[in-house]
Amino acid sequence: MVDWQDRLALTAQQNRQEIVRAKLSRRELTRLGLVTAGGALIAKPGLSARVTSATDGKLNADDRLLSSADAFPASPPARPWVQPMPRIPLKPKTTPAVMQGGAPDGTTVIEAATARINHQFFTFDPKTGAYGGRFPPRRFYELFLQEAQAQLHPNYGPTTIWGFDGRYPGPLLQATIGEPVLLRIHNRLPSVKKPVDFGIAEFATHLHNAHTPSESDGFPTDTVNSVNDPNPVNPGGFKDYHYLSAYPGFSASAGSVGDSREGLGSLWYHDHHIDFTAQNVYKGMAGPYVIHDEVDTGDETTGLRLPSGAYDVPIFFNDFLFDRHFQLVFDLFNLDGILGDRFTANGAIQPFFDVDKRRYRLRLYNPGPSRWTEFALFDGKSFLPFWQISNDGNLLPQAVRVTSVRLPVAARVDIIVDFSKYAASRLYLVNRLEQVNGRGPTGKILTPGIPYLQFNIGAAAPDHSRDPADPSLGPYKLRELPDPDLNLLLAQAKKLKTRVFKFGRGNGQWNINGQLWDENSILADPPQDSEEVWVFQNGGGGWAHPIHAHFEECRILERNGVAPQPNVSVDGRIEYSRTDVVPLANNFEYRVLFRFRDMRGRYVMHCHNVVHEDHAMMLRFDIV
């Protein structure tokens, strides 16, 4: 960018931040002529960085396609590979007796903390202090959401974030099937009365995509006030979330914990505040949550013998944009999607990771808000193979040898990388998927791509995990699908109720079936313990929508009329599996199977390009 353009963009950035601090309503902005009726910032010098000249006010061709990184000055320079990748700390368990605010009492706040209700699946006896019910909590955690200063690069000054326990990503929470979890989250953020550039000092945490009672699911209006903004119902500014640590299908038998074939592994928790999800997650409100069971034990000497301990590594990948003061920049007037120009792993800009010559389980997370990724291992000359073992939180039927994995926004993929098998001493994890704006990926595969992480391979280390490539052991079987015969499942699906959802755009806003998000409008009402086929259609226009429905995983039946094949990666995705993010590309159609078991309540489905979600591409469905 030439000097005058850089100065214009900087002025526009500062003016836009002043508008945000003034807390003008959308109606006031429209009356002042600053936004269009569709909600987009009007293009004019000194306000919109998309204006190409300080005098003529004309726009580039197809101006609305510019990304946030194009619309603002570039982030300050940051030399790669000069800092180690942070390891996400494991959160210690606590006990009810020492939890701040008192022991959990069997209730929780809902509806902006204006009401308090009982948890569905456990009770509390105040006389004895005992927990009862179907799933009494046995593991307790306590997180503190607070403002903090993060050092994302040695050459950067402190960056203000809002993080769980004051860090990004938040701490690793571990759960085990059969040990229900009670998680208390305290809101220690500044008062909502304090002006900020973006975000809101409240939360509604969603455990993506756990089988969770509705009062603990993070419904977008179940927001929690800061302790600095106390109210009579919630003066302490906290909420108790109850996670059952049970497999889906437990209601079918009184003594059952559900169908173990539907066990989950790599989940994550993140904010889901109505209208502010993208802003709050971008500001740091997210972290990993991992579930173990007798198959995926977390011990490489037992069960499936997957790499464990120091060799089981969650990694959150982000792209951020920074101003000249090293603060995060979020374009509130960009309704298309937010892209950055600095690429991080676990909150560090292009770090290195020193690894041993042995197998690692890398849990790859794409929290968004808008960039899709396709990760590959590059040694400077060629792309190297590794093993994919999961799709989202679900282990595959068997490990599959691949050379890349595609992650739509909110998706996760677990891979096994055997660093003892590579000749090079240094490798790079690169994103090969081109994306230049909020519409989604262009479809072009880059060579080599954008490097996010450098691996430095050291000395050999003991390894008790199983080698997926060992021919004497045969295929590496992982977790069987509930319906291993897809042809039979397709035949059964033809008899089920079918609902169609079209994801489109109208009047400058995102919608589903032509309707904008309305918390009081129920667009689907599946009965408890029912099965339904949902059809997702992309309305076109070049947009991509990663679709996520809360509460249950789904099974992909068809993509554009074609059923997925076992152990086959297409466009970096293995879709013969259970999943919780459906990558609805431009003009695509997916047919998926949902089962609505065990609980009733209200839930949501939305686009997980959360800029689209926050601008009304979300619906409510009730299990009745």
Q: What is the pLDDT of residues 578-612, one digit of tens each?
A: 999 999 999 999 999 999 999 999 999 999 999 99
Say how many domains are in the chain.
Answer: 4
Assess if residue 466 is contained within a domain: no
Q: Are residues 313 and 270 in the same domain?
A: no
70 inside domain = no
Please compute the mean of the pLDDT values over residues 388-406 and round it to a whole number.
97
Same domain, 549 and 604: yes
The answer to whether residues 49 and 101 belong to one domain is no
- What pLDDT shows up at residue 319? 98
Alpha-carbon distances of 180 from 89, 174, 184, 291, 395, rounded to whole Å: 21, 11, 13, 11, 21
User: Residue 116 maps to which CATH number?
Assistant: 2.60.40.420
Q: Both 254 and 127 in a single domain?
A: yes
- Averaged pLDDT of the chain: 91
| 101 in the same domain as 236 | yes
- On whether residue 467 sits in a domain, the answer given is no
* Inside any domain, residue 78: no
| Structural domain ending residue among the three candidates 443, 460, 477 | 460
The segment with the largest mean pLDDT, out of 3-17, 177-191, 321-335, is 177-191
Q: Please give the structure tokens belonging to residue 442.
A: 């262009």
pLDDT tens for 62-81 read 333 445 665 678 999 999 99
81 inside domain: no
- Domain end marker among 292, 323, 342: 292
Look at residue 84 and tell me if it is in a domain: no
Same domain as 234, residue 179: yes
Among 292, 327, 362, which residue terminates a domain?
Answer: 292
Which distant-in-sequence residues (6+ apart) come within 8 Å of 330 by Cβ?
68, 197, 198, 199, 278, 279, 282, 283, 321, 338
505 has a pLDDT exceeding 70 = yes
> For the whole prediction, is pTM greater than 0.95?
no
pLDDT band at 52; cut points 50, 70, 90: very low
As beta bridge partners, residue 10 has none
Cα dist from 567 to 390, 399, 471, 561, 570, whole Å? 11, 8, 17, 19, 10
Residue 168 sits in the same domain as residue 267:
yes
| Cα–Cα nearest to 123, from 140, 100, 145, 106 | 106
Inform me whether the pLDDT recorded for 157 exceeds 70.
yes
Tell me, yes or no, whether 130 and 199 share the same domain: yes
Q: Tell me the residue range of the domain where 610 lies.
A: 486-623
Question: Do residue 123 and residue 50 come from a single domain?
Answer: no
Closest alpha carbon to 415 in 314, 319, 343? 314
Q: What are phi and psi of 282, to 5 degrees?
A: -60, -30
Residue 107 covered by a domain:
yes
Position 267 in a domain: yes
Q: For residues 275 and 314, state if they share a domain.
A: no
Say what the pLDDT of residue 53 is.
Answer: 32
pLDDT for residue 35 is more than 80? no
